[in-house]
Amino acid sequence: MSDTDSIDLAQRRLALALDALDAAADRRREADRAGAALATQVNALDSDRARLASELDETTARARVLETASREVKRRIDHAIETIRGVLELEE
């Protein structure tokens, strides 16, 4: 093999190595972009989870208030029914 052939072969090997390095760098940049996009999505999901947890807490508290009010209304209706029955019995 002549010196020219050796140099040509070395240049081709170097060009292939540089192409492979460039492709690896491109894949790495794409992976970094995908990782950043994933981190953004995770942050958005975490924010949504926190918001939903807060809304659930508020809704649960409101449900308790409504349940208490419902029991009080039922108690008052039952008392009114008993009062009306008592009045009707007196009239008979």
Q: What is the pLDDT of residues 29-57, one digit of tens each?
A: 999 999 999 999 999 999 999 999 999 99
Question: What is the Cα 46 distance to its own chain's centre?
Answer: 5
Interatomic CA distance for residues 63 and 69, integer angstroms: 10
Q: What is the pLDDT of residues 59-92, one digit of tens each?
A: 999 999 999 999 999 999 999 999 999 999 988 7
* The pLDDT of residue 1 is above 70: no
Is the dihedral angle over the CA atoms 39, 43, 48, 49 positive or is it negative? positive
Residue 91: predicted pLDDT: 81
Q: What is the pLDDT of residues 11-32, one digit of tens each?
A: 999 999 999 999 999 999 999 9
